[in-house]
Structure 1
Amino acid sequence: MFELLSAIFVVWKDSSLLEPNRLHDLGDEFKSLPLWKQAEPRFLWNSHLLEPLIENKLDQYLLPVIQGSFQSIHAEVGSEKVNVTLIARRCTRRIGTRMWRRGADPDGYAANFVESEQIMQSKEFTASYVQARFFTQLVRGSMPFLWEQIVDLTYKPSFDVVRVDEAPRVLERHFHDLQKKYGAVVAVDLVNTHGGEGRLYERYAKSIEPILSEDIRFVHFDFHQICGHIHFERLSQLYDQIEDYIKKHKYFLVNSKGEKIEVQTGTVRTNCVDCLDRTNVTQSMVGRKILESQLQQIGVLGGNNTVSDYPAFDANYKVLWANHGDAISTQYSGTPALKGDFVRYGKRTTEGILNDLWNALARYYLNNFADGTKQDAMDLLQGHYISSVSRDMPTPSKGGLLENYASFRLAFALLLAAMMFMIMSLRQARNDVFHLVPSLLWAGFCLGITRYVKANGRMFTNRPRFYQSRH
């Protein structure tokens, strides 16, 4: 629980935490409301905890909080000062950990939905661009249909699409909700076209096809096939496909008098499988292009100049997005983002590759042996499961005896003990051949434990105990 709360940030009254277009038009009447009424419900992480205080009208004691990230840099571009702020907000509608919250629920809410907002201030101008990024979910979030990937001790558990016939309906509800909040949407899908990811891509592409229109566009970009592990500069191929959309739907821009010069009328929704690593690299590229366009419009950059022409500003901007990605990744997966060295330094490094290996192993451990308990903590915090703390309601359903007491630690200890006895018997067999019999028995015992754990991997993982239904 404390790990979860450590990443929660306070919502402040004058921040740009509502969509910038709407926030600009809100009057003094709205700003005089209690803070919890100003906060957007889908990002209010302590809404369940506030309910008793709201019922007793204790508005002055209520402090709304969000989970996300806040990063800011101050730099000079030529003779002009430029401030860039990056804000992320995680949605509460389908919260959870990396493996235990995938896809979308029947209402169309996607896992790991994160709204990222980049704010630029320079020469008395303020500009903003909102991206939604999903866990499929800028905006970022998970692929918005019913699918799962349940841990079973394998490094990469298989993907399963659930209730296939409902995928178009769930996806339509998801994009209808996005349109109401952000306007037009271009959905950028970064998954592979083969294997398990390929099946997800095919379902996504097939389900979204009926709702494609001028305001909903789908762009698939096989990140690993095109960029590999080092050629991330090839993301320019993706930008070429969405450049016309971004220019058409603009960004939010006001002058020193508060007059609107531009209005953002659409957003980019990005996803990979986790909506962490490939997604963050891609979103940082889109954010950079938008920033350059804004700085060119207000005259800070010349028409042919880019952020890369100012090394100090460029370095700070890369760190800004790298820290942004690490924060979101830590909240969802428990580790910093992979491929973060490219975002941070603009190239892959040996240290970055070694860090990716370490973080991948850490994710494996957390997914299999820690995230079930963390998922329960999140569900209790949000009020998604209250049976366990109510005397008048039944406790969570229990599995069989073996399932309840299956322990990877116990199985591993038995395996080590059996191997030790097998080795001892083999040593004794040098003097007495009959000791080969117990050594073979212990070897069979080792093999039996290994095969049983492998065949029943899900039983030996750390599962949510309050987890009655995934969808």
Structure 2
Amino acid sequence: MALPFRDINVQIAPDCYIFKSPSTPDAPALTIDRPTGEVRLSDAALLSGKRITRTTSVRGILGVIQLRLDKYVVVITKDAHVGRLKGHMIHRILEVEFLSVHERGLRDPDEDRFLALLRSFLKAGPMYFSYTLDLTNSFQRQAAQQDQAAASGSALAPLWMRADDRFFWNRFVQSDFIDFRHRGARGLPGAQPGIDPYILPVIYGMLEIHPTTFRGRPLTLALITRRARFRAGTRFFSRGIDEEGHVANYNETEQIVVLNDTGRSNMGSFSAGTGSAAGSTLKTQPQEDTQILSYVQTRGSVPVYWSEINNLKYTPRLVVRGDNRGLEAALPAATAHFTEQVRIYGDNYLVNLVNQKGRERLVKEAYENMVQTSKRAASSSKSGMERIHYIYFDFHSETKGMRLDRAKLLLDQMHDALIAQQYFSAVTSASSSDRLESRNLQSSVVRTNCMDCLDRTNVVQSMLARWTLERMFSDLGLMSRGGTLLDQDPVFEELFRNLWADNADRVALGYAGTGAMKTDMTRLGKRTKAGALRDGQIAVTRYCLNNFMDGPRQDAFDLFLGAYAPNSTSSMTSGAYYVFADRRPVLIQAVPYVLAFSLFLLLVGLFTRRLPDSAVLPLRLFLLVWAVIAAYSFHFILRSGELYVNWPKLVPRPASVEDYHEAMAKARKDKLLGAFVTRHERGLSTARYLSAEEGKKRIE
């Protein structure tokens, strides 16, 4: 079994980058040719004669990405230790560095913008990795992989090959290495297993590990949320389902309890200095088997074709294709989604939390129609749709008046299903600390959603996690049947609440740009006025971010995950050059500045002290004129809100493009400004930019 190298030195030579592990001198060195970017494996001894200009140590290779004019090797230069899980050290990425293959002297504005997007994305994105533990798979799937390998008499595959493709977040930027692994290169065709230790899988999401005690019994409580890389993006630019059956904001959350976690993993013990008091206590019982219990839940957007179009109004325009034509178009995608969920998790209990009144009603009805249509269409085949169970719970209606206790009605509604669902449990013996011996399996999963799959979803998921955790402790004999965490151990109860509230904030931050709402219900167990005020602040912040900041964030997702390829044929067409230029007519761009200038003059006129003998009429006329200009500018911006949203530039959303063109058509018909709105695009013309680009290439 090939595990990733934990220590890699990078030697930078004029004609290549050389990566090798100083702790494994016999392993082949990985070289990346400059300027072609070709990947090769070489004998480290044969490279000793290279002229090395710089040598540095990195924590791992995140991948290789091709932008418009250059290719870059992305290396992890700084990480933080999150903790140990079953003896394996977990790391979080803090800093990365981009190693240019060409080191071109000329600067290109789009290339610089691409790099800025990637740097900000990798700096803000919570990404985790382990050299020895597969973070992409739940413990139950890991146990199944071990059983399959044992049954076939073969060793486990390399860590990256075992990774769940949905949560292998850097899968796209590892494409060069993976292609070389399967096919080799010129002069060296065929499989190249020597590159396996250089491929490091990374997850995106939330991961916390807490060594603690429950009623004096040492244990480790961990929570892992894995965000899927398919249809990833920001709140209003990534909704619903795509043609392949991938839904937006899909996350798998695994709650883990480890008993007798001695940390005996030989590989996991490489990193030192992160021990804890609880861990020291556990080492006093080295002969006891380590017990692992886990419970998995999922969340994901409603699997129909729907979207919300930003238009500067607080409530965006909702578009739901819930009619017969829309359902028919989305049916193959939804069926593929449900079939995959059943294959991976077994029975799926679809808990829908959207409102049954108001604008959300359209989404609720579309979801119900899709589930019913999918079941009818699959009734004659064995697609597994009979294992889909739809459950509706109007969260806002049931808990209005700060009545959180009424949310437990959902637990009563699902009681029998939760009993039958079970949870995963396994043991690892002292003789084989990495071998999971399954004792119990989780047979189904609860898939929860609201509109955003954030705030309401997390409250319900934490309730289900608490119910299951109390069941685990009861089965283990750590607490009596019918007891609660609060009654048995208030300190552990507080840890549990904060852990799930942190999860809510982390998932919401990646999707909506802010922390989660309703976290007072998770942290405190009740709705509070302070929590309501905080939710109001978050709502205002989300409004600003989702309208004016999420376009570049979505571009960063699309760029890193491969939804947009800067060097592809389609992106090199004339219309794609200078992709970040603002192509709106200059007059349209100027209206917000006119509004700001008008408000400034109004404030000056209202609050500047007048001379005693000054005339009042001119000042009133002055204020009236600028008040009219400000009012008209404000009205124009609101009426043409789609023109002032910061849209994604790389992969435009079809529905938003239609609304943008409609808003532009209205602006051209405006009685005052319409005649002055020009139709040309601002910036270099296509011909001029093509000529400039060709000149750059000749110089390089």
Q: What is the TM-score normalised by the length of structure 2? A: 0.62
> Which has the larger displacement, 224-233 or 211-220?
211-220
Whole-angstrom distance in 1 between the partners of 2:623 and 2:136: 66
Is the partner of 2:517 in helix, strand or coil? coil
1:44 to 168, 172, 194: 168
2:597 paired with 1:417: yes
Is the partner of 2:576 in helix, strand or coil? coil
Whole-angstrom distance in 2 between the partners of 1:197 and 1:375: 24
Contact 2:311 2:317 in 1 (8 A): no
Note the residue ranges of structure 1 that are not aligned, 5 or more in a row.
132-138
Shift of 1:452: 1.2
Contact 2:252 2:299 in 1 (8 A): yes
Alignment CA distance shift 1:31-1:142 (3 Å): farther
Shift of 1:421: 4.5
Is the partner of 2:351 in helix, strand or coil? strand
1:106-255 map, 5 Å: 106-122=243-259, 124-131=290-297, 139-162=298-321, 164-165=326-327, 166-212=329-375, 214-228=386-400, 230-255=402-427
1:261 to 422, 439, 460: 439
2:254 paired with 1:76: no
Contact 1:71 1:86 in 2 (8 A): yes
Is the partner of 2:173 in helix, strand or coil? helix
Whole-angstrom distance in 2 between the partners of 1:304 and 1:425: 69
Question: Which deviations, in whole Å up to 9, do the C-alpha atoms of 1:93-133 show, x marking residues without a partner?
Answer: 100011110111122210000000111223643211111xx
Contact 2:129 2:135 in 1 (8 A): no
Whole-angstrom distance in 2 between the partners of 1:96 and 1:156: 19
Is the partner of 1:239 in helix, strand or coil? helix
Contact 1:184 1:265 in 2 (8 A): yes
Is the partner of 1:88 in helix, strand or coil? strand
1:240-319 map, 5 Å: 240-255=412-427, 258-309=436-487, 310-319=489-498
Alignment CA distance shift 1:102-1:260 (3 Å): same
Partner of 1:457: 641
Shift of 1:36: 1.9
Whole-angstrom distance in 1 between the partners of 2:519 and 2:159: 35
Contact 1:380 1:386 in 2 (8 A): yes
2:651 paired with 1:467: yes
More strand by share: 2
Partner of 1:328: 507
Q: What is the TM-score normalised by the length of structure 1? A: 0.90
AA in 1 matched with 2:168: L
Alignment CA distance shift 1:246-1:31 (3 Å): farther
Give the number of equivalent residue pairs.
463
Contact 1:406 1:459 in 2 (8 A): no
Is the partner of 1:235 in helix, strand or coil? helix
Whole-angstrom distance in 1 between the partners of 2:587 and 2:421: 54
Question: Which deviations, in whole Å up to 9, do the C-alpha atoms of 1:419-468 show, x marking residues without a partner?
Answer: 45567789899836477656544333222211211111111011100123
Whole-angstrom distance in 2 between the partners of 1:302 and 1:406: 71
Whole-angstrom distance in 1 between the partners of 2:294 and 2:437: 14
Contact 1:128 1:253 in 2 (8 A): yes
Whole-angstrom distance in 1 between the partners of 2:637 and 2:154: 58
Whole-angstrom distance in 2 between the partners of 1:105 and 1:22: 26
Alignment CA distance shift 1:423-1:366 (3 Å): closer
Shift of 1:389: 7.1
Contact 1:84 1:121 in 2 (8 A): yes
AA in 2 matched with 1:199: L
Identity %: 32
Whole-angstrom distance in 2 between the partners of 1:38 and 1:148: 34
Alignment CA distance shift 1:107-1:430 (3 Å): farther
Note the residue ranges of structure 2 that are not aligned, 5 or more in a row.
1-117, 182-194, 261-289, 376-384, 430-435, 656-700
Alignment CA distance shift 1:71-1:210 (3 Å): same
Shift of 1:31: 6.4
Q: Which has the larger radius of gyration?
A: 2
Partner of 1:135: none
Whole-angstrom distance in 2 between the partners of 1:323 and 1:406: 45
Alignment CA distance shift 1:405-1:273 (3 Å): farther
Contact 1:396 1:465 in 2 (8 A): no
Whole-angstrom distance in 1 between the partners of 2:397 and 2:173: 45
RMSD of the alignment, in Å? 2.9
Partner of 2:677: none
